[in-house]
A = this chain, B = another copy of it.
């Protein structure tokens, strides 16, 4: 089971230590996404070399393939993917609502068709907890509904009430002495009153950690930043606070400033495969003709393998030629950038200078900023 200690505060920002059965995770932390049990294009040796301490995997994808029974028989997800450090799994709810076909929702849960082969599956609070306990992650998430950004207040309120009932069923199904620490999820869209109510209801369950769900689902960046800033303090101060599915580097700085401890996003890995590199000087589109003969590294301030070894000219060539090595080198760099951004944030918080750190980082990005959108896949 996990334990969590806040070791430093700097305004609303905080640094902490999350102890898990698979090692120490210093917070605030960014969690690379390993959807089907693999962070795309890199191996566990690479992740360890990048000093990633915790990786996220998606229950929805693992449920469909290879299935939680198989993973359990293989000794659990840590062993299956050869990742000895901490793992967090989501409940599958978000992907059911965003990826799966022909959903039917009831009080019991959701039935849906696999986006892979159309096969029929059912997921609800008890099953979501069961699957995650089979996978054996160190942190597991309650099964919830994540309403779309434009949902009406009446729908939001109904959905929230059901998510609260589902959270209680998750807690009842959960084995507190098992491998996974259960985190509750606070939804509520952009409605602060609903968020407050949800935080009270979910917080009352006295769980090992809490998450904010339903951000970065279509609202503006400003709405997201304001919402997170308003909602993070609603979560119990002595438990880790996880902002789900966020975000770009600027979002990370905002969230950390608001008191968020954990974040995850596909952005560094997905953008890498689309040739977009995050750097200390802002975003760099590697296919840009300007880099065709540029001997400099992608980021002159970066010490990652990619930047230590290869020129922009070569990275551009690999990307233009659709070489597999391109996806790997870009991914290694983007993960290094995100992880080092957070390492810097932790250090700054512990030294009481987080605002200055964030300002210096933003200033490096320059006028263009680093806000990005990144196409599938």
Query: Which A residues form the contact surface with B (CB < 8 A)?
Result: 36-45, 61, 65-66, 70, 73-75, 80-82, 273, 292-293, 295, 305, 309-311, 313-314, 317-318, 320-321, 323-325, 327-329
| A66 and B317 form a contact (CB under 8 A) | yes
A-B contact pairs, 12 of them (CB 8 A): A36-B317, A36-B318, A38-B325, A41-B325, A43-B329, A45-B309, A65-B320, A66-B320, A74-B313, A82-B309, A324-B324, A324-B328
| A325 and B43 form a contact (CB under 8 A) | yes
State the CA gap A320–B62 with chains docked (Å): 12
> Which residues of the partner chain B approach A309 to less than 8 Å between Cβ atoms?
43-45, 82
Taking each of A45, A309, A314, A317, which has the highest tally of chain B beta carbons within 10 Å of its own beta carbon? A317
Copies held by the complex: 2
> Which residues of the partner chain B approach A80 to less than 8 Å between Cβ atoms?
311, 313-314, 317
Closest to A64 in B: B321
> Which listed residue, B273, B293, B305, B328, touches A328 by the CB 8 Å rule?
B328
> Which listed residue, B39, B42, B310, B327, touches A82 by the CB 8 Å rule?
B310
| A314 and B81 form a contact (CB under 8 A) | yes
> Which residues of the partner chain B approach A317 to less than 8 Å between Cβ atoms?
36-37, 65-66, 80
State the CA gap A58–B223 with chains docked (Å): 52
State the CA gap A309–B38 with chains docked (Å): 14
Counting from the closest, the 5 A-B pairs by CB-CB distance are A41-B324, A38-B325, A66-B317, A38-B323, A36-B321
> Which residues of the partner chain B approach A40 to less than 8 Å between Cβ atoms?
323-325
> Which residues of the partner chain B approach A318 to less than 8 Å between Cβ atoms?
36, 38
State the CA gap A266–B24 with chains docked (Å): 43
State the CA gap A156–B43 with chains docked (Å): 49
A202 CB to closest chain B CB, in angstroms?
33
Taking each of A42, A313, A324, which has the highest tally of chain B beta carbons within 10 Å of its own beta carbon? A324
Closest to A62 in B: B317
Taking each of A61, A309, A323, which has the highest tally of chain B beta carbons within 10 Å of its own beta carbon? A323
State the CA gap A318–B43 with chains docked (Å): 12
> Which listed residue, B75, B305, B313, touches A45 by the CB 8 Å rule?
B305
> Which residues of the partner chain B approach A328 to less than 8 Å between Cβ atoms?
41, 43, 324, 328
